[in-house]
Amino acid sequence: MSKQQETLRIGIAGLGTVGGEVARLIETEDAHLHMRAGKKLVVTAVAARDRTKKRAAALKNVAWVDKPVDLANRNDVDVVVELIGGHEGAARDLAEATLKKRKPLVTANKALLAHYGQALAGLSEAYDAPLYCEAAVAGGIPVIKTLREALAGNTMLEVYGILNGTCNYILSTMRQSGRTFADVLGEAQKLGYAEADPTFDIDGMDAGHKLVILSALAYGAPVNLPGLKADGIRAISANDILFADELGYRIKLLGIARMTPQGLMQRVAPYMVPQNSALAHVDGVMNAIYMQGSAVGPLTLIGRGAGAGPTASAVLSDIIDCARGRQASALAVSSQHVKAVNMLPDEMSESAFYVRLMVMDKPGVLAELAAILRDARISIQSLLQKGRAEAGPVAVVFITHDTNEKAMADALLGLAKMQTVLEPPCLIRILPD
Ligand SMILES: NC(=O)c1ccc[n+]([C@@H]2O[C@H](COP(=O)([O-])OP(=O)(O)OC[C@H]3O[C@@H](n4cnc5c(N)ncnc54)[C@H](OP(=O)(O)O)[C@@H]3O)[C@@H](O)[C@H]2O)c1
């Protein structure tokens, strides 16, 4: 073996939370990684914005490039690891340039893959340059390889999970402490579990990016971000958490990709998860993914979905695959086999629903509510009214039998117009047992 074949020379773009830890582990775990990769792993060049910033790794004898895209062109870089983030600009330029240079690309960038995954998988094939992305979904949980490789013999029936640690931390802390959404969000920001601008997490887009990648892997379908429906957790109140407990559920933000005879349903939304299911007990910043395959049956993976260590663990597994020459179609199937999949029209999507209304405590309110639901052809499975308020609002909660999204949306419009309804209704779908 020549000197060059004994070493894998790595260029890393981005030395933040993930990139810094990947570089540090390559330095400190060198003997173990050598054994696993069959080659010595060496970081030869890096890029970041600020060369003076203190980094997790020592980075001795490592070249710095001015622009991340320069890493693709260097003769001393065999594989490029993109850990910048964002779906445009430096990350996208680098990803495209690397594949066009016929070099392997490792990325943890879910936003890039959610927007341009299909195009990048196409470049990977056209230029015969592998694209590795284990860290892009659920950090340390090896879900990409599980769907793409371990479960390749199955027709996937359903994939869903807790894909955003920030939301899971907020919802489980609200349940454990009885505090409000705003209060717990503030604490999550102080602890570094939520960004200063938490919109992307709490409105469901981060989970959405991960879901569309999982959905493509599970069903051999194109990555379809425009076909995603996403709701976040802003409307969940401390009351909803209490009602969920009483009714036998836990509220979780789930990403669900389910294949139905009428098309693919891709939705991120808060769900009532039955307390007897494994996902109901996945708390804090942990992630979990449930998969149902035709041959394997049900399978659940639970673990840390973010953070320096778990994400670096996934990136290193990709670098080792690259060193070993292990290569799979980036998104599970080659472009000639990607099949166009119809999206399930919303009016055909069915579930049971939990609805909470804050109403004036007056006679006749329940009769009016029942009439609106009757007109929308929705039947109620159970109804709860809590306490009596002297002058203020009281919570009325009902659970429907299975009904479709269109009927529910029509009923919500009617309910929101009731003079006695004081706040926009809160709707949460119910995950079947
Ligand atoms: N953090 C996690 O837990 C996690 C989990 C799963 C996936 N990911 C993904 O991993 C990727 C990296 O995330 P991160 O949390 O490590 O981000 P981060 O801490 O913000 O680090 C980003 C790095 O990119 C560098 N950078 C940004 N723009 C640049 C530019 N135009 N040119 C050169 N360098 C640039 C920054 O340089 P400076 O340091 O000089 O500012 C920084 O080193 C993202 O795609 C993210 O979605 C992260």
Centroid of ligand 1 to alpha carbon of 108 (angstroms): 9
Token couple for 431: 């995950």
**Of 1, 3, 2, 4, nearest in space to 75 by CA:** 4
Atom 5, ligand 1: which residue's CA is nearest? 306
Spatial CB neighbours of 345, under 8 Å, sequence gap ≥ 6:
262, 263
Residue 17 Cα, ligand 1 centroid: separation in angstroms?
7
**Considering just the CA atoms, what is the radius of gyration of the chain in Å?**
24
Pocket of ligand 1 (CB under 6 A): 14-19, 47-50, 53, 68, 83-85, 90, 108-110, 135, 139, 306-307, 311
- Residue entry with tokens 């990048």: 120
Cα dihedral sign, 132-136-141-147: negative
Q: Within 13 Å, how many C-alpha atoms sit on residue 96's CB side?
A: 11
Give the bridge partners for 41, in sequence order. Answer: 8
> Rounded to an integer, what distance in angstroms lies between the CA atom of residue 298 and that of residue 321?
27
pLDDT tens digits for 36-53? 999 999 999 999 999 999
Q: From CA 198, how far away is CA 193, in angstroms rounded? A: 10
Q: Could you give the CA distance from residue 277 to residue 282 in angstroms, rounded to a whole number?
A: 10
Residue owning the nearest CA to atom 31 of ligand 1: 90
**C-alpha 282 – ligand 1 centre gap (Å):** 27
pLDDT at position 390, please?
64
139 CA closest ligand 1 atom index = 6
Instruction: Going residue by residue through the chain, which has 433 residues, state the pLDDT in tens, using 9 for 90 and above.
Output: 455 579 999 999 999 999 999 999 999 999 999 999 999 999 999 999 999 999 999 999 999 999 999 999 999 999 999 999 999 999 999 999 999 999 999 999 999 999 999 999 999 999 999 999 999 999 999 999 999 999 999 999 999 999 999 999 999 999 999 999 999 999 999 988 888 899 999 999 999 999 999 999 999 999 999 999 999 999 999 999 999 999 999 999 999 999 999 999 999 999 999 999 999 999 999 999 999 999 999 999 999 999 999 999 999 999 999 999 998 888 988 888 888 899 999 888 999 999 999 999 888 889 999 999 999 999 999 998 876 666 678 999 999 999 999 999 999 999 999 999 999 999 999 998 8
> For 351-386, how does the pLDDT look when each residue is reduced to its tens digit (9 = 90+)?
999 999 999 988 888 999 999 999 999 999 999 887
Element (H, E) at 244: helix 238-247
Closest CA to 431 of 246, 153, 244, 217: 244
pTM of the full predicted structure? 0.95
Specify the amino acid at residue 362. Answer: K
Query: How far, in Å, CA of 216 to CA of 116, rounded?
Result: 12
Q: Could you write out the DSSP letters of every residue in 199-232? A: HHHHTTHHHHHHHHHHHHHHHTPPP-STT-EE--
Angle 208-210-212 (CA atoms, 0-180°, nearest 5)? 70
Beta bridge partners of 302: 288
Predicted pLDDT of residue 204 = 97
Count of Cβ atoms closer than 10 Å to residue 428 Cβ? 24
Tell whether the torsion through CA atoms of 244, 427, 164 and 348 is positive or negative: positive
Alpha carbon of 15 to ligand 1 centroid (Å) = 7
The first and second tokens of residue 257, run together, are 């990709």
- Give the residue from 396, 389, 406, 416 showing the smallest Cα distance to 354: 396
Ligand 1 atom at minimum distance from 110 CA: 47
Q: Indicate which residues carry an active-site annotation.
A: 210
Position in ligand 1 atom list of the atom nearest CA 306: 3
* Cα within 13 Å of Cα(159), Cβ side: 25
Nearest ligand 1 atom, CA 85: 45
If you measure from the C-alpha of residue 98 to the centroid of ligand 1, how many angstroms do you get, rounded to a whole number?
Answer: 18
- Kindly state the DSSP code that residue 346 receives in the 8-state scheme: G
Atom of ligand 1 nearest to the CA of 50: 40
Burial of 196 (0-12, 13-18, 19+ CB in 10 A): exposed
Residue nearest to atom 20 of ligand 1 (CA): 16
Q: Six-digit token pair at 418?
A: 């009731």
> Which residues, other chains included, contact 326 with Cβ-Cβ below 8 Å and sequence gap of 6+?
none
User: How far does residue 18's CA lie from ligand 1's centre (Å)?
Assistant: 7
Residues ≥6 apart with Cβ < 8 Å to 430 = 249, 271, 272, 351, 352, 353, 354, 399
The best mutation among 49, 88, 143, 168 to test binding of ligand 1, ranked by most ligand atoms within 8 Å of the C-beta, falls on 49
How far apart are the CA of 19 and the centre of ligand 1, in A?
7
Q: Whose CA is nearest to atom 38 of ligand 1?
A: 49
The best mutation among 17, 69, 105 to test binding of ligand 1, ranked by most ligand atoms within 8 Å of the C-beta, falls on 17
- The closest residue, in CA terms, to atom 39 on ligand 1 is 16
